[in-house]
Amino acid sequence: MLKQHLQFKLSQKLSPQQIQLMKLIQLPTQAFEQRLKQELEENPALEGGKEEKEALGDDYADVYEESDSETITAEDINIDDYLSDDEIPDYRTKTSNYSADEDEKSVPYASGTTFNQFLLTQLNTVYLSDEEWGIAEFLVGSVDESGYIRRPITDILDDLAFTQNIYTNEETILKVLHIVQALDPPGVAARSLEECLIIQLKRKETTTSIELAITILDKSFEQFTKKHYKKLINKHNITEDQLKEAISEIERLNPKPGGSYAGNNRIVEHVVPDFSIKIADGELELTLNGRNAPELHVSREYSNMLQGYKDSKEKSKSQKDTVQFIKQKLDAAKWFIDAIRQRQQTLFITMNAIMQYQKEYFLSGDERNLRPMILKDIADEIHMDVSTVSRVANSKYVDTPYGTKLIKEYFSESMKNEQGEDVSTKEIKKILETVIAEETKKKPLTDDKLAAILKDKGYPIARRTVAKYREQLSIPVARLRKQI
């Protein structure tokens, strides 16, 4: 039996122009400049700088309306001539079926040789047989960005046979590995943290403290990492001062030798503040980076072309095709100029609302003065969508008297204190951080004790919440904060 029913579905679709505007709002200053440059290159009707002549106003509108009054049929228009891919602005072809993560991003890299090339260059100074060189080259290629070789010798043995046609044994690989481990920086090509630290200690001048440090790492590594200091003292029959000196030697070592190589090709992120907040006579002043407010105008040459078409008595098919192209480019130019103005306004209004909302913090710089603030608070304040505020907060930086920070860092959830007032979780984290910094390191505070202290200060939160905040602050548990 067939059933027939009517289903109504309410949906809202964004136009290509709206999508493009949202993407423009999301762009930070540097990326915006690239997008501006691209649009200037692609649309000849858009020009940068101040217009020398009178700005295009009603004349353009008149020409546009009058040229429209003449009917141009589909047969008169050569679509391929002016709707080709290289002439349509980006925003006319993009749709909303992809996420921001799929946007093409240009990321600058530090120049110089790679870490592996740096190691291979050092190997050239060591005499090795052909087989040893092949093994050494493979081992260097197995060193990760932290400076470690994380793969078992047995796996390396198999890979050498299958991929390099080098048939050898574990003993030979270990022999060559020790040669690679003698390269700079000290500790490179280690297979574990323990081995990395021991290699570095053995490269130092031998002292009683160095020898004890090597013994502790070699014989009692687990007890050392867990900071079981009493067990170490008893096991190695040493005094507390001797243990302190040995630990001091270990703490000066580099657990990630690969990270110390300046030529390592790591991503370099250049942060350009999109806003600036200054304090003048006790009041906050907000400015938008001038690079976000370029001077643009519609090409007078293109508008004159359209005027010429209006004045001509005979209008051929080729002229009609041309006027469609010109109108398309002028439309795109006018829209882009309006979109940039709207972007400037949106950025300023949003940041100004955030600044006023967190006025007490921006005047003092004390994170304990940060009010609980979520995206909806600002969206309601400026009568905009939450997604618009999110686009500003997640990708923009503000230069303040207390440093340059990502705007989204000023947003936080809230909780109630003992007085029933809403307080920011950032405020609680700052107090937690201060309490831990002032604790006695010989007997650090457990999460239970931290929770009790916070409760005494008027913040009744559970132990598990303290643990969560502590982890978010990258602070280890009490046992690992312990010092002699």
Separation CA 303–CA 298 (nearest Å):
8
Distance in Å from the first CA to the final CA of the chain: 82
Q: Which of 235-249, 316-330, 440-454 bottoms out in mean pLDDT, i.e. has the lowest?
A: 316-330
Separation CA 208–CA 246 (nearest Å):
9
Across 54-75, average pLDDT:
39
User: What size, in residues, is the chain?
Assistant: 484
In sequence order, the β-bridge partners of residue 284 are: 279
pLDDT at 267: 44
Higher pLDDT, 78 or 193: 193
DSSP designation for 396 = -
- Contact predicate 319/32, CB 8 Å: no
Can you state the percent helix, strand and coil of the chain, rounding each to 5? Answer: 55, 10, 35
Kindly report the CA angle at 369 between 364 and 371, in degrees rounded to 5?
130
DSSP letters for 436-467: HHTS-TTSPPPHHHHHHHHHHTT----HHHHH
pLDDT one-digit tens code per residue, 199-236: 999 988 889 999 999 999 999 888 888 888 889 899 99
This prediction has a pTM of 0.52
Separation CA 367–CA 360 (nearest Å):
10
State yes or no: pLDDT of 72 exceeds 60. no
Nearest residue to 407 via CA among 266, 282, 288: 288
Higher pLDDT, 68 or 319: 319
pLDDT one-digit tens code per residue, 98-119: 334 434 444 444 445 678 888 8
Buried b / exposed e along 355-374 (16+ C-beta atoms within 10 A): bebbeebbeeeebbbbbbbe
Sign of CA dihedral 33, 35, 37, 40: negative
Q: Average pLDDT over the chain, rounded to whole? A: 78
